[in-house]
Amino acid sequence: MDTMTNLKGETGRDARRRIRAGAARLPTSGMAPGYVQGNLAILPKALAADFARFCMLNPKPCPLLGQSEPGDWRLPTLGEDLDIRTDIPLYRIWKNGEMVEEVTDLKGVWRDDLVSFVLGCSFSFEEALIENGLELRHQSCNSNVPMFRTNIECAPAGPFHGPMVVSMRPFKPADAIRAVQVTTRFPSVHGAPVHLGKPEMIGIKDIGKPDYGDAVPVRDDEYPVFWACGVTPQSVVATVKPEFCITHAPGYMLITDLLNSRLAVL
Amino acid sequence: MDTMTNLKGETGRDARRRIRAGAARLPTSGMAPGYVQGNLAILPKALAADFARFCMLNPKPCPLLGQSEPGDWRLPTLGEDLDIRTDIPLYRIWKNGEMVEEVTDLKGVWRDDLVSFVLGCSFSFEEALIENGLELRHQSCNSNVPMFRTNIECAPAGPFHGPMVVSMRPFKPADAIRAVQVTTRFPSVHGAPVHLGKPEMIGIKDIGKPDYGDAVPVRDDEYPVFWACGVTPQSVVATVKPEFCITHAPGYMLITDLLNSRLAVL
Protein backbone atom coordinates (compact mmCIF):
# COMPACT_ATOMS: atom_id res chain seq x y z
CA MET A 1 0.00 0.00 0.00
CA ASP A 2 2.53 2.59 -1.12
CA THR A 3 0.38 4.62 -3.48
CA MET A 4 -2.57 6.98 -3.20
CA THR A 5 -4.45 5.03 -5.85
CA ASN A 6 -6.23 2.54 -3.58
CA LEU A 7 -6.98 3.83 -0.12
CA LYS A 8 -10.32 2.02 0.18
CA GLY A 9 -8.96 -0.84 2.28
CA GLU A 10 -6.18 1.17 3.96
CA THR A 11 -6.12 0.92 7.75
CA GLY A 12 -4.93 3.60 10.14
CA ARG A 13 -1.78 1.55 10.67
CA ASP A 14 -1.18 1.27 6.91
CA ALA A 15 -1.45 5.04 6.57
CA ARG A 16 0.92 5.72 9.49
CA ARG A 17 3.48 3.36 7.96
CA ARG A 18 3.31 5.17 4.62
CA ILE A 19 3.71 8.49 6.40
CA ARG A 20 6.52 7.22 8.64
CA ALA A 21 8.38 5.99 5.53
CA GLY A 22 8.12 9.45 3.96
CA ALA A 23 5.82 8.09 1.23
CA ALA A 24 2.86 10.35 1.99
CA ARG A 25 3.83 13.96 2.78
CA LEU A 26 0.30 15.09 2.03
CA PRO A 27 -2.78 16.37 3.84
CA THR A 28 -4.41 13.34 5.44
CA SER A 29 -8.01 13.97 4.32
CA GLY A 30 -9.18 10.84 2.51
CA MET A 31 -6.44 8.58 3.88
CA ALA A 32 -7.52 5.43 5.77
CA PRO A 33 -11.27 6.00 5.27
CA GLY A 34 -13.30 5.14 8.37
CA TYR A 35 -10.39 5.67 10.78
CA VAL A 36 -10.31 8.47 13.35
CA GLN A 37 -7.94 11.37 12.65
CA GLY A 38 -6.88 13.68 15.45
CA ASN A 39 -5.43 17.11 16.19
CA LEU A 40 -2.06 17.20 17.96
CA ALA A 41 -0.74 19.48 20.68
CA ILE A 42 2.59 18.68 22.40
CA LEU A 43 3.42 20.71 25.49
CA PRO A 44 6.15 20.71 28.16
CA LYS A 45 5.16 18.81 31.29
CA ALA A 46 5.03 22.06 33.29
CA LEU A 47 1.90 23.03 31.32
CA ALA A 48 0.43 19.57 30.80
CA ALA A 49 -1.73 19.26 33.92
CA ASP A 50 -3.39 22.62 33.28
CA PHE A 51 -3.95 21.80 29.62
CA ALA A 52 -5.47 18.42 30.49
CA ARG A 53 -7.80 20.18 32.89
CA PHE A 54 -8.67 22.76 30.22
CA CYS A 55 -9.68 19.91 27.90
CA MET A 56 -11.71 18.26 30.66
CA LEU A 57 -13.54 21.53 31.36
CA ASN A 58 -14.20 22.23 27.66
CA PRO A 59 -15.01 18.85 26.13
CA LYS A 60 -16.91 20.21 23.12
CA PRO A 61 -14.01 22.22 21.59
CA CYS A 62 -11.29 20.03 23.19
CA PRO A 63 -12.38 16.37 23.09
CA LEU A 64 -9.34 14.50 24.40
CA LEU A 65 -8.78 11.18 22.62
CA GLY A 66 -5.31 10.45 24.01
CA GLN A 67 -2.59 11.79 26.33
CA SER A 68 0.94 10.42 26.54
CA GLU A 69 3.23 9.91 29.51
CA PRO A 70 5.90 12.66 29.76
CA GLY A 71 8.74 12.02 27.35
CA ASP A 72 7.01 9.00 25.83
CA TRP A 73 6.41 9.21 22.09
CA ARG A 74 3.95 6.31 22.16
CA LEU A 75 0.16 6.48 22.44
CA PRO A 76 -0.77 2.79 22.53
CA THR A 77 -4.49 3.40 23.08
CA LEU A 78 -4.60 5.17 19.70
CA GLY A 79 -2.30 2.85 17.75
CA GLU A 80 -0.23 -0.12 18.81
CA ASP A 81 2.88 0.94 16.90
CA LEU A 82 2.17 4.67 16.95
CA ASP A 83 5.23 6.97 17.22
CA ILE A 84 4.10 10.57 17.58
CA ARG A 85 7.57 11.76 16.40
CA THR A 86 7.21 10.26 12.92
CA ASP A 87 3.60 9.44 12.15
CA ILE A 88 2.28 12.84 11.08
CA PRO A 89 3.29 14.15 7.65
CA LEU A 90 4.00 17.73 8.75
CA TYR A 91 4.52 19.36 12.16
CA ARG A 92 4.85 22.93 13.33
CA ILE A 93 7.38 23.95 15.99
CA TRP A 94 6.44 26.95 18.14
CA LYS A 95 8.68 28.99 20.44
CA ASN A 96 7.21 31.65 22.73
CA GLY A 97 4.02 31.69 20.66
CA GLU A 98 5.76 32.09 17.29
CA MET A 99 5.78 29.36 14.65
CA VAL A 100 9.49 28.90 13.92
CA GLU A 101 9.67 25.85 11.68
CA GLU A 102 7.72 23.16 9.83
CA VAL A 103 9.31 19.69 10.05
CA THR A 104 8.46 16.20 8.83
CA ASP A 105 9.59 14.41 11.98
CA LEU A 106 10.30 15.32 15.60
CA LYS A 107 13.42 13.23 16.20
CA GLY A 108 15.68 16.29 16.21
CA VAL A 109 13.55 18.30 18.64
CA TRP A 110 12.21 15.66 21.04
CA ARG A 111 12.55 16.35 24.79
CA ASP A 112 12.04 14.15 27.83
CA ASP A 113 9.45 16.49 29.31
CA LEU A 114 7.07 16.57 26.34
CA VAL A 115 3.46 15.43 26.74
CA SER A 116 1.35 14.71 23.66
CA PHE A 117 -2.37 15.49 23.50
CA VAL A 118 -4.52 14.12 20.68
CA LEU A 119 -7.93 15.76 20.25
CA GLY A 120 -10.90 14.60 18.18
CA CYS A 121 -11.56 16.37 14.90
CA SER A 122 -14.60 17.05 12.76
CA PHE A 123 -13.53 14.63 10.00
CA SER A 124 -15.18 11.88 12.06
CA PHE A 125 -18.62 13.47 12.30
CA GLU A 126 -18.42 14.81 8.74
CA GLU A 127 -18.08 11.22 7.54
CA ALA A 128 -21.29 10.40 9.43
CA LEU A 129 -23.09 13.45 7.96
CA ILE A 130 -22.11 12.42 4.43
CA GLU A 131 -23.27 8.84 5.08
CA ASN A 132 -26.63 10.41 6.01
CA GLY A 133 -26.87 12.03 2.61
CA LEU A 134 -26.19 15.55 3.87
CA GLU A 135 -24.20 17.96 1.73
CA LEU A 136 -21.12 19.59 3.26
CA ARG A 137 -21.02 22.98 1.57
CA HIS A 138 -17.26 23.50 2.01
CA GLN A 139 -16.66 20.19 0.25
CA SER A 140 -19.03 21.14 -2.59
CA CYS A 141 -17.06 24.41 -2.84
CA ASN A 142 -13.78 22.51 -2.68
CA SER A 143 -12.64 24.79 0.14
CA ASN A 144 -11.80 24.70 3.84
CA VAL A 145 -14.60 24.76 6.40
CA PRO A 146 -15.25 28.36 7.59
CA MET A 147 -14.33 28.96 11.23
CA PHE A 148 -15.18 31.88 13.53
CA ARG A 149 -14.03 33.20 16.90
CA THR A 150 -17.11 33.56 19.14
CA ASN A 151 -17.98 35.45 22.32
CA ILE A 152 -18.42 32.10 24.12
CA GLU A 153 -15.63 32.00 26.72
CA CYS A 154 -14.05 28.63 27.44
CA ALA A 155 -13.81 27.63 31.11
CA PRO A 156 -10.26 28.68 32.13
CA ALA A 157 -7.61 26.34 33.60
CA GLY A 158 -4.30 27.76 34.83
CA PRO A 159 -2.93 30.00 32.08
CA PHE A 160 -5.28 28.56 29.44
CA HIS A 161 -8.28 30.69 28.58
CA GLY A 162 -9.94 32.25 25.59
CA PRO A 163 -12.98 32.19 23.32
CA MET A 164 -14.41 29.15 21.63
CA VAL A 165 -13.77 28.83 17.91
CA VAL A 166 -16.58 27.25 15.89
CA SER A 167 -16.81 25.71 12.45
CA MET A 168 -19.88 26.44 10.30
CA ARG A 169 -21.84 24.26 7.90
CA PRO A 170 -25.10 25.54 6.33
CA PHE A 171 -28.20 23.31 6.30
CA LYS A 172 -31.91 23.60 5.58
CA PRO A 173 -34.05 23.33 8.76
CA ALA A 174 -34.95 19.63 8.44
CA ASP A 175 -31.33 18.79 7.57
CA ALA A 176 -30.10 20.87 10.53
CA ILE A 177 -32.34 18.77 12.79
CA ARG A 178 -30.89 15.59 11.25
CA ALA A 179 -27.35 16.97 11.66
CA VAL A 180 -28.03 17.57 15.38
CA GLN A 181 -29.12 13.94 15.72
CA VAL A 182 -26.18 12.50 13.77
CA THR A 183 -23.46 14.51 15.52
CA THR A 184 -24.98 14.03 18.99
CA ARG A 185 -23.87 10.41 18.65
CA PHE A 186 -20.21 11.56 18.51
CA PRO A 187 -19.42 13.47 21.72
CA SER A 188 -15.72 12.61 21.48
CA VAL A 189 -15.39 14.49 18.19
CA HIS A 190 -17.16 17.78 19.08
CA GLY A 191 -20.67 16.27 19.33
CA ALA A 192 -23.84 18.28 18.71
CA PRO A 193 -23.77 21.85 17.38
CA VAL A 194 -23.36 24.61 19.96
CA HIS A 195 -25.46 27.12 18.03
CA LEU A 196 -27.74 27.43 15.01
CA GLY A 197 -28.58 30.51 12.95
CA LYS A 198 -28.53 33.97 14.57
CA PRO A 199 -24.72 34.34 14.35
CA GLU A 200 -24.82 37.71 16.18
CA MET A 201 -25.89 35.89 19.38
CA ILE A 202 -22.43 34.28 19.60
CA GLY A 203 -20.52 37.37 18.52
CA ILE A 204 -20.15 36.63 14.82
CA LYS A 205 -20.56 39.93 12.93
CA ASP A 206 -20.26 38.77 9.33
CA ILE A 207 -20.96 35.18 8.32
CA GLY A 208 -19.20 35.95 5.03
CA LYS A 209 -15.89 36.73 6.76
CA PRO A 210 -14.59 33.72 8.67
CA ASP A 211 -11.57 34.14 10.98
CA TYR A 212 -10.07 30.91 9.62
CA GLY A 213 -10.83 28.82 6.53
CA ASP A 214 -12.92 29.99 3.60
CA ALA A 215 -16.33 31.65 3.28
CA VAL A 216 -19.12 29.48 1.85
CA PRO A 217 -22.58 30.58 0.66
CA VAL A 218 -25.53 30.27 3.07
CA ARG A 219 -28.81 30.29 1.12
CA ASP A 220 -32.04 31.99 2.20
CA ASP A 221 -33.66 28.66 3.12
CA GLU A 222 -30.66 27.56 5.20
CA TYR A 223 -29.19 28.21 8.64
CA PRO A 224 -25.51 28.44 9.45
CA VAL A 225 -25.01 25.61 11.97
CA PHE A 226 -22.06 25.97 14.36
CA TRP A 227 -19.95 23.24 15.93
CA ALA A 228 -17.20 23.66 18.53
CA CYS A 229 -13.90 23.48 16.64
CA GLY A 230 -10.48 21.96 17.32
CA VAL A 231 -8.88 25.27 16.38
CA THR A 232 -9.99 26.44 19.85
CA PRO A 233 -7.15 24.70 21.76
CA GLN A 234 -4.61 25.84 19.17
CA SER A 235 -5.73 29.44 19.53
CA VAL A 236 -5.74 29.13 23.33
CA VAL A 237 -2.23 27.64 23.39
CA ALA A 238 -0.99 30.41 21.09
CA THR A 239 -2.26 32.97 23.62
CA VAL A 240 -0.23 31.37 26.42
CA LYS A 241 2.96 31.57 24.28
CA PRO A 242 4.66 28.50 25.80
CA GLU A 243 8.47 28.62 25.52
CA PHE A 244 8.15 25.45 23.39
CA CYS A 245 5.33 23.50 21.83
CA ILE A 246 4.50 21.42 18.78
CA THR A 247 1.33 21.03 16.75
CA HIS A 248 0.40 19.26 13.54
CA ALA A 249 0.32 21.52 10.45
CA PRO A 250 -3.29 22.30 9.48
CA GLY A 251 -4.78 19.42 7.46
CA TYR A 252 -1.91 17.06 8.33
CA MET A 253 -3.54 15.00 11.06
CA LEU A 254 -2.65 12.00 13.19
CA ILE A 255 -4.35 8.88 11.82
CA THR A 256 -5.26 6.41 14.57
CA ASP A 257 -6.39 2.78 14.77
CA LEU A 258 -9.80 3.83 16.15
CA LEU A 259 -12.82 3.47 13.88
CA ASN A 260 -15.08 6.50 13.43
CA SER A 261 -18.11 4.23 13.75
CA ARG A 262 -16.88 3.03 17.14
CA LEU A 263 -16.81 6.61 18.47
CA ALA A 264 -20.60 6.71 18.21
CA VAL A 265 -22.06 6.40 21.70
CA LEU A 266 -25.02 4.52 20.24
CA MET B 1 -57.03 8.12 45.80
CA ASP B 2 -60.33 9.86 45.12
CA THR B 3 -59.20 13.48 45.21
CA MET B 4 -57.03 15.71 43.04
CA THR B 5 -54.98 16.72 46.06
CA ASN B 6 -52.32 14.03 45.84
CA LEU B 7 -51.57 12.77 42.36
CA LYS B 8 -47.83 12.36 42.94
CA GLY B 9 -48.01 8.59 43.49
CA GLU B 10 -51.05 7.96 41.29
CA THR B 11 -50.59 5.25 38.67
CA GLY B 12 -52.24 5.10 35.27
CA ARG B 13 -54.53 2.40 36.63
CA ASP B 14 -55.47 4.56 39.66
CA ALA B 15 -56.39 7.42 37.35
CA ARG B 16 -58.49 5.21 35.06
CA ARG B 17 -60.39 3.84 38.08
CA ARG B 18 -61.17 7.35 39.28
CA ILE B 19 -62.34 8.31 35.80
CA ARG B 20 -64.36 5.08 35.37
CA ALA B 21 -66.11 5.77 38.70
CA GLY B 22 -67.09 9.24 37.49
CA ALA B 23 -64.87 10.86 40.13
CA ALA B 24 -62.65 12.78 37.70
CA ARG B 25 -64.56 14.42 34.84
CA LEU B 26 -61.64 16.74 34.19
CA PRO B 27 -58.90 17.34 31.62
CA THR B 28 -56.25 14.69 32.27
CA SER B 29 -53.19 16.97 32.22
CA GLY B 30 -51.33 16.41 35.50
CA MET B 31 -53.06 13.12 36.34
CA ALA B 32 -50.87 10.05 36.93
CA PRO B 33 -47.56 11.91 36.44
CA GLY B 34 -45.02 9.84 34.49
CA TYR B 35 -47.65 7.72 32.73
CA VAL B 36 -48.27 7.88 28.99
CA GLN B 37 -51.47 9.60 27.86
CA GLY B 38 -52.83 8.99 24.37
CA ASN B 39 -55.15 10.38 21.73
CA LEU B 40 -58.16 8.21 20.79
CA ALA B 41 -59.79 7.56 17.44
CA ILE B 42 -62.48 4.86 17.13
CA LEU B 43 -63.53 3.94 13.60
CA PRO B 44 -65.79 1.34 11.98
CA LYS B 45 -63.91 -1.77 10.81
CA ALA B 46 -64.55 -0.84 7.16
CA LEU B 47 -62.11 2.08 7.57
CA ALA B 48 -59.74 0.51 10.08
CA ALA B 49 -57.24 -1.14 7.73
CA ASP B 50 -56.77 2.08 5.74
CA PHE B 51 -56.41 4.15 8.91
CA ALA B 52 -53.86 1.70 10.35
CA ARG B 53 -51.89 2.00 7.12
CA PHE B 54 -52.17 5.80 7.24
CA CYS B 55 -50.59 5.73 10.74
CA MET B 56 -47.86 3.38 9.56
CA LEU B 57 -47.06 5.68 6.64
CA ASN B 58 -47.08 8.83 8.81
CA PRO B 59 -45.46 7.80 12.09
CA LYS B 60 -44.46 11.31 13.17
CA PRO B 61 -47.98 12.83 13.31
CA CYS B 62 -49.69 9.44 13.92
CA PRO B 63 -47.57 7.35 16.31
CA LEU B 64 -49.71 4.27 16.96
CA LEU B 65 -49.45 3.03 20.56
CA GLY B 66 -52.33 0.56 20.46
CA GLN B 67 -55.05 -0.88 18.19
CA SER B 68 -57.96 -3.04 19.38
CA GLU B 69 -59.61 -6.03 17.80
CA PRO B 70 -62.93 -5.14 16.11
CA GLY B 71 -65.71 -4.82 18.67
CA ASP B 72 -63.34 -5.33 21.60
CA TRP B 73 -63.28 -2.51 24.14
CA ARG B 74 -60.08 -3.79 25.74
CA LEU B 75 -56.51 -2.71 24.94
CA PRO B 76 -54.48 -5.01 27.21
CA THR B 77 -51.08 -3.83 25.93
CA LEU B 78 -51.90 -0.33 27.23
CA GLY B 79 -53.58 -1.31 30.51
CA GLU B 80 -54.55 -4.68 31.95
CA ASP B 81 -58.03 -3.61 33.04
CA LEU B 82 -58.48 -0.88 30.43
CA ASP B 83 -62.03 -0.43 29.06
CA ILE B 84 -62.05 2.11 26.26
CA ARG B 85 -65.81 2.67 26.75
CA THR B 86 -65.43 4.08 30.27
CA ASP B 87 -61.84 5.13 30.94
CA ILE B 88 -61.78 8.56 29.28
CA PRO B 89 -63.54 11.44 31.06
CA LEU B 90 -65.16 12.92 27.95
CA TYR B 91 -65.74 11.60 24.41
CA ARG B 92 -66.99 13.14 21.21
CA ILE B 93 -69.39 11.27 18.91
CA TRP B 94 -69.17 12.17 15.23
CA LYS B 95 -71.64 11.37 12.43
CA ASN B 96 -70.80 12.08 8.78
CA GLY B 97 -68.03 14.42 9.88
CA GLU B 98 -70.16 16.44 12.31
CA MET B 99 -69.68 16.34 16.07
CA VAL B 100 -73.13 15.41 17.37
CA GLU B 101 -72.64 14.77 21.08
CA GLU B 102 -70.19 14.75 23.98
CA VAL B 103 -70.60 11.78 26.33
CA THR B 104 -68.90 10.49 29.47
CA ASP B 105 -69.04 6.82 28.48
CA LEU B 106 -69.60 4.81 25.31
CA LYS B 107 -71.82 2.03 26.64
CA GLY B 108 -74.89 3.44 24.86
CA VAL B 109 -73.17 3.83 21.47
CA TRP B 110 -70.84 0.84 21.30
CA ARG B 111 -70.92 -1.30 18.14
CA ASP B 112 -69.44 -4.69 17.32
CA ASP B 113 -67.51 -3.29 14.35
CA LEU B 114 -65.62 -0.53 16.17
CA VAL B 115 -61.81 -0.50 16.20
CA SER B 116 -59.95 1.71 18.70
CA PHE B 117 -56.71 3.45 17.83
CA VAL B 118 -54.59 5.06 20.55
CA LEU B 119 -51.92 7.49 19.34
CA GLY B 120 -49.00 8.98 21.26
CA CYS B 121 -49.31 12.59 22.40
CA SER B 122 -46.91 15.40 23.16
CA PHE B 123 -47.53 15.27 26.94
CA SER B 124 -44.87 12.53 27.08
CA PHE B 125 -42.08 14.48 25.40
CA GLU B 126 -43.10 17.71 27.14
CA GLU B 127 -42.46 15.98 30.47
CA ALA B 128 -38.96 15.13 29.24
CA LEU B 129 -38.36 18.72 28.05
CA ILE B 130 -39.39 20.10 31.45
CA GLU B 131 -37.13 17.59 33.22
CA ASN B 132 -34.32 19.03 31.07
CA GLY B 133 -34.99 22.50 32.45
CA LEU B 134 -36.55 23.82 29.25
CA GLU B 135 -39.43 26.29 29.45
CA LEU B 136 -42.65 25.44 27.63
CA ARG B 137 -43.98 28.84 26.62
CA HIS B 138 -47.64 27.78 26.41
CA GLN B 139 -47.40 26.51 29.98
CA SER B 140 -45.81 29.79 31.14
CA CYS B 141 -48.69 31.57 29.37
CA ASN B 142 -51.20 29.16 30.92
CA SER B 143 -52.63 28.49 27.46
CA ASN B 144 -52.94 25.70 24.91
CA VAL B 145 -50.01 24.88 22.65
CA PRO B 146 -50.34 26.73 19.30
CA MET B 147 -50.94 24.41 16.33
CA PHE B 148 -50.76 25.10 12.60
CA ARG B 149 -51.84 23.40 9.39
CA THR B 150 -48.77 23.08 7.14
CA ASN B 151 -48.14 22.50 3.44
CA ILE B 152 -46.50 19.14 4.29
CA GLU B 153 -48.80 16.50 2.80
CA CYS B 154 -49.17 13.26 4.71
CA ALA B 155 -48.69 10.05 2.72
CA PRO B 156 -52.25 9.02 1.72
CA ALA B 157 -53.88 5.65 2.50
CA GLY B 158 -57.28 4.80 1.07
CA PRO B 159 -59.59 7.75 1.77
CA PHE B 160 -57.24 9.24 4.38
CA HIS B 161 -55.13 12.16 3.20
CA GLY B 162 -54.38 15.74 4.15
CA PRO B 163 -51.78 18.13 5.47
CA MET B 164 -49.67 17.59 8.60
CA VAL B 165 -50.64 19.69 11.60
CA VAL B 166 -47.73 20.81 13.79
CA SER B 167 -47.47 22.14 17.33
CA MET B 168 -45.06 24.98 18.03
CA ARG B 169 -42.82 25.72 21.01
CA PRO B 170 -40.32 28.63 20.91
CA PHE B 171 -36.70 28.08 22.04
CA LYS B 172 -33.37 29.86 21.93
CA PRO B 173 -30.89 28.20 19.52
CA ALA B 174 -28.97 26.17 22.12
CA ASP B 175 -32.23 25.08 23.76
CA ALA B 176 -33.66 24.16 20.36
CA ILE B 177 -30.64 21.89 19.82
CA ARG B 178 -31.24 20.31 23.24
CA ALA B 179 -34.95 19.92 22.46
CA VAL B 180 -34.05 18.04 19.25
CA GLN B 181 -31.87 15.68 21.30
CA VAL B 182 -34.47 15.12 24.04
CA THR B 183 -37.43 14.49 21.74
CA THR B 184 -35.44 12.30 19.33
CA ARG B 185 -35.43 9.73 22.14
CA PHE B 186 -39.24 9.51 21.93
CA PRO B 187 -40.17 8.42 18.38
CA SER B 188 -43.46 6.87 19.58
CA VAL B 189 -44.73 10.26 20.80
CA HIS B 190 -43.96 12.42 17.70
CA GLY B 191 -40.16 12.29 18.11
CA ALA B 192 -37.82 15.03 16.84
CA PRO B 193 -39.12 18.32 15.42
CA VAL B 194 -40.04 18.33 11.73
CA HIS B 195 -39.06 21.96 11.21
CA LEU B 196 -37.35 24.88 12.95
CA GLY B 197 -37.71 28.61 12.31
CA LYS B 198 -38.64 29.85 8.79
CA PRO B 199 -42.38 29.09 9.19
CA GLU B 200 -43.09 30.19 5.59
CA MET B 201 -41.13 27.14 4.33
CA ILE B 202 -43.89 24.86 5.65
CA GLY B 203 -46.76 27.11 4.60
CA ILE B 204 -47.34 28.99 7.87
CA LYS B 205 -48.17 32.59 6.99
CA ASP B 206 -48.54 34.15 10.44
CA ILE B 207 -46.92 32.59 13.51
CA GLY B 208 -49.20 34.78 15.63
CA LYS B 209 -52.35 33.14 14.23
CA PRO B 210 -52.46 29.44 14.99
CA ASP B 211 -55.16 27.27 13.38
CA TYR B 212 -55.75 25.52 16.72
CA GLY B 213 -54.80 26.39 20.32
CA ASP B 214 -53.52 29.80 21.42
CA ALA B 215 -50.83 32.15 20.12
CA VAL B 216 -47.70 32.49 22.28
CA PRO B 217 -44.90 35.09 21.99
CA VAL B 218 -41.73 34.15 20.07
CA ARG B 219 -38.88 36.46 21.11
CA ASP B 220 -36.20 37.85 18.79
CA ASP B 221 -33.56 35.47 20.14
CA GLU B 222 -35.80 32.43 19.71
CA TYR B 223 -36.99 30.12 16.94
CA PRO B 224 -40.43 28.63 16.62
CA VAL B 225 -39.74 24.87 16.72
CA PHE B 226 -42.34 22.62 15.09
CA TRP B 227 -43.34 19.08 16.04
CA ALA B 228 -45.76 16.80 14.18
CA CYS B 229 -49.05 16.93 16.11
CA GLY B 230 -51.73 14.42 17.04
CA VAL B 231 -54.36 16.80 15.72
CA THR B 232 -53.26 15.62 12.25
CA PRO B 233 -55.20 12.30 12.36
CA GLN B 234 -58.26 14.06 13.81
CA SER B 235 -58.24 16.61 11.01
CA VAL B 236 -57.69 13.86 8.42
CA VAL B 237 -60.56 11.75 9.81
CA ALA B 238 -62.82 14.79 9.81
CA THR B 239 -62.09 15.22 6.07
CA VAL B 240 -63.22 11.65 5.34
CA LYS B 241 -66.53 12.26 7.19
CA PRO B 242 -67.06 8.63 8.31
CA GLU B 243 -70.71 7.75 8.92
CA PHE B 244 -69.73 7.13 12.55
CA CYS B 245 -66.63 7.71 14.66
CA ILE B 246 -65.57 8.56 18.18
CA THR B 247 -62.68 10.61 19.52
CA HIS B 248 -61.64 11.85 22.96
CA ALA B 249 -62.62 15.46 23.71
CA PRO B 250 -59.55 17.74 23.44
CA GLY B 251 -57.53 17.58 26.67
CA TYR B 252 -59.42 14.53 27.98
CA MET B 253 -56.93 11.79 27.13
CA LEU B 254 -56.61 8.06 27.68
CA ILE B 255 -54.21 7.37 30.58
CA THR B 256 -52.26 4.14 30.09
CA ASP B 257 -50.08 1.87 32.23
CA LEU B 258 -47.02 2.71 30.09
CA LEU B 259 -44.32 4.88 31.63
CA ASN B 260 -43.15 7.93 29.65
CA SER B 261 -39.56 7.10 30.57
CA ARG B 262 -39.95 3.63 29.02
CA LEU B 263 -40.96 5.16 25.68
CA ALA B 264 -37.44 6.54 25.34
CA VAL B 265 -35.55 4.43 22.79
CA LEU B 266 -32.36 5.01 24.78
Q: Do A177 and B192 touch (CB under 8 A)?
A: yes
- Do B197 and A173 count as a contact with CB atoms less than 8 A apart? yes
B181·A184 Cβ contact <8 A: yes
Does B187 lie at the interface with A, CB-CB under 8 angstroms? Answer: no
pLDDT value of position A6: 56
Q: Work out the burial of residue B259: count CB atoms within 10 Å of its CB; fewer than 13 is exposed, 13-18 middle, 19 or more buried.
A: middle
B151 touches chain A (CB under 8 A): no
Cα–Cα nearest to A7, from A29, A25, A22: A29
pLDDT score of A1? 40
B177 closest CB neighbour out of A173, A193, A201: A193
Nearest CA in chain A to B185: A181
CB contact under 8 A, A198 and B221: yes
Q: Is B33 on the interface with A (CB under 8 A)?
A: no
Confidence of residue B8 (pLDDT cuts 50, 70, 90): confident
- Ordered DSSP codes for A8-62: TT--HHHHHHHHHTTS--S--TTSSTTEEEEEEEEEEHHHHHHHHHHHHH-TTT-
| CB atoms A192 and B184 under 8 Å | no
Q: Searching chain A, which residue's CA lies closest to the CA of residue B192?
A: A177
Residue of A nearest to B200 (CA): A221
Output the tens digit of pLDDT for each of chain A's 266 residues: 444 445 678 999 999 999 999 999 999 998 999 999 999 999 999 999 999 999 999 999 999 999 999 999 999 999 999 999 999 999 999 999 999 999 999 999 999 999 999 999 999 999 999 999 999 999 999 999 999 999 999 999 999 999 999 999 999 999 999 999 999 999 999 999 999 999 999 999 999 999 999 999 999 999 999 999 999 999 999 899 999 999 999 899 999 999 999 999 88
Which pLDDT does position B208 carry in this prediction?
Answer: 97
Chain B contact set for A197 (CB, 8 A) = 173, 197, 223
pLDDT at A2: 44
Beta bridge partners of B247: B41, B92
Domains of chain B: 12-121+234-263 (3.40.1640.10), 123-233 (3.30.2040.10)
B143 Cβ under 8 Å from any chain A Cβ: no
Closest CA to B215 of B199, B238, B233: B199
Answer yes or no: is pLDDT of B205 > 50: yes
Q: Which of residues 98-137 of B touch A (CB under 8 A)?
A: none
Average pLDDT of chain B? 94
Q: In which band, very low, low, confident or very high, does the pLDDT at B141 lie, cut at 50, 70 and 90?
A: very high
Q: Band the pLDDT of B125: cuts 50, 70, 90.
A: very high
Where would I find the H helices in A149-219? 173-184
Burial zone of B209 (CB within 10 Å; 0-12 exposed, 13-18 middle, 19+ buried): exposed
B194 touches chain A (CB under 8 A): yes
Task: Determine the angle formed by the axes of helices A45-57 and A231-240, rounding to 10 degrees.
Answer: 140
CB contact under 8 A, A177 and B197: no
Residue of B nearest to A177 (CA): B180
Instruction: Tell me the backbone φ, ψ of residue B27, rounded to 5 degrees.
Output: -55, 145
As a whole number of angstroms, the distance between CA B92 and CA B246 comes to: 6
Strand partners, A212: A147
Distance from CA of B65 to the nearest CA of A (A): 24
- Is A264 an interface residue toward B (CB < 8 Å)? no
ipTM of the complex: 0.85
Give the pLDDT score at A266.
84
Inter-chain CB proximity B181 and A197 less than 8 Å:
no
pLDDT grade, residue B266 (50/70/90)?
confident
Q: Nearest-CA distance from B39 to chain A in Å?
A: 26
B3: confidence class by pLDDT, cuts 50, 70, 90: very low
B90 pLDDT more than 90: yes
Strands ordered across the beta sheet of A223-228: A147-153, A163-171, A223-228, A195-196
